Amino acid sequence: MRKIYDLTAPICLENDEVRIPKPKSAEISLELIGHDLLLSGTKLFKYLSNSIKFEVHLGTHIDLPTTFAYQSVDPFKIPVDFFIREAHVIHVERDYSKKSLTLDEVKDKIDLKEFTELPRERRPALLFKTGMSRYWCYDNQKYMNFPGLSKSLIEFIAYELEPPFIGIDAISIDRTIEHRSLSLYTNIDEEFINLLRMQEYTALLGHDILLRKNIYILENLDMREIPSNVSRGLLIALPLFRFTSLTEKSVMITALPCRAIFIPEPKDSFNEIIKKLRTLEKELSGIIE
């Protein structure tokens, strides 16, 4: 039976509290709540549920260009097959180090033709396995001092490979952590958005380069279980939420929390899988109608 890997970073629970590496001023919490039924003056629990609250850039998520207020494809209209595609895994595991991954370290691991000879919408995703997953929840100080990707590597990805999105097993592709003070700004207005558009993000330069090119960024992957001899497979990184708008008023969505699944070298080709999904979608639509 073919092994399927769940690349979603877990929500780590310690007793009844959430314990995960987190930026300053960001919050994630999980609470048990009871929905009660008032019967003859006596409060009885009808059923139990859970309430979860979190900042969308925590846990496994996809950064969208709107993170920097850049215009992009409407996240309400992204087709589901965008998130299901072939992925190449670049193994760059090493002992704990704060040094950024360089282009020289990874260039010989990437076949340029596998990207440039395909239309951009059909190009594979690029996933970097740095080994940082081992520190998630267990050593927050090391996890928060992740290596990130160097400017030269980011520019190579943005201007040579141009994949639809890249992924990394760390909290960010950018090594610096000063940008997390942005989470202090809780009230966002048009003036703030305009300031974002005008600034040059030195601390988030990698994000800036990729998101300007409409290359999405999949962060906080848990890639511990992927063997060193597995370099490609099918990635399914579906957003947890599906949005729709009931009015003409636009809503800014900056990131999409997702569940990420990886299947090494599936039996069917990527095109065959998408074809089957679309056939199934049509058949189900016919049943519903």
pLDDT tens digits along 150-163:
889 999 999 999 99
pLDDT at 142: 80
- Tell me: pLDDT of 236 over 90: yes
- Residue recorded with tokens 């109608």: 289
How many Cα atoms are found within 13 Å in the side-chain-facing hemisphere of 84? Answer: 15
DSSP H helices, 110-233, are: 113-116, 140-144, 151-156, 190-198, 205-212
User: Of the given ranges (8-12, 161-165, 191-195, 241-245), which has the lowest mean pLDDT?
Assistant: 191-195
Tokens of 59: 């846990």
Mean pLDDT of all residues in 168-193: 62
Q: What is the pLDDT of residue 47?
A: 77
At residue 178, the pLDDT reads 42
What is the model's pLDDT at position 277? 63
Band (pLDDT 50/70/90 cuts) for residue 166 is very high
131 falls in which pLDDT band (50, 70, 90)? Answer: very high
- Range of lowest pLDDT (2-6, 114-118, 200-204): 200-204
- Measured between alpha carbons, how far is 155 from 158 in angstroms, rounded to an integer? 5
For residues 235 and 40, give the distance between their C-alpha atoms in angstroms, rounded to a whole number. 54
pLDDT at 187: 53
Bigger pLDDT: 75 or 168? 168
DSSP codes of every residue in 215-281: -EEEESB--TTS-TT--EEEEEEEES-----SSS------EEEEEEEEEES-SS-HHHHHHHHHHHH
Q: CA–CA distance from 77 to each of 40, 61, 80, 82, 119 (Å)?
A: 49, 18, 9, 11, 20
Instruction: Identify the residue with better confidence: 253 or 75.
Output: 253
Q: How far is CA 125 from CA 26, 121, 173, 215, in A?
A: 28, 10, 15, 10
Distance CA 46, CA 248 (A): 38
Q: Which residues contact 136 (CB under 8 A, 6 or more apart)?
A: 9, 10, 12, 20, 21, 143, 220, 222
Q: What angle do CA 136, 84, 217 make, to 5 degrees?
A: 45
Q: What mean pLDDT do residues 209-216 have?
A: 93
What is the per-residue pLDDT for 201?
46
The residue that leads in pLDDT, 130 or 243, is 130
Mean pLDDT of 138-159: 87
Instruction: Give the mean pLDDT of 6-35.
Output: 82
| pLDDT at 198 (0 to 100) | 56
> Looking at the predicted structure, is the pLDDT value of residue 275 above 70?
no
Q: What pLDDT digit, counting tens, does each position of 104-117 carry?
A: 999 999 999 999 99
Helix (H) or strand (E) holding 170: none
Whether the per-residue pLDDT at 191 is higher than 90: the answer is no
Q: Average pLDDT of 36-62?
A: 77
Residue 98 and residue 33: Cα distance in Å, rounded? 41
Mean pLDDT of the chain: 81
- Provide the whole-model pTM: 0.81
CB 192 within 8 A of CB 254: no
What fold, for 55-280?
Glucose Oxidase; domain 1 (3.50.30)
- Position 184 scores a pLDDT of 44
Which residues of the chain does CATH 3.50.30.50 include?
55-280
Asked if pLDDT for residue 18 goes beyond 80, the answer is yes
Lowest-pLDDT range of 69-73, 203-207, 224-228, 239-243: 69-73
Query: What's phi and psi for 11, nearest 5 deg?
Result: -85, 110
Angle at the Cα of 94 (from 88 to 95), degrees rounded to 5? Answer: 155
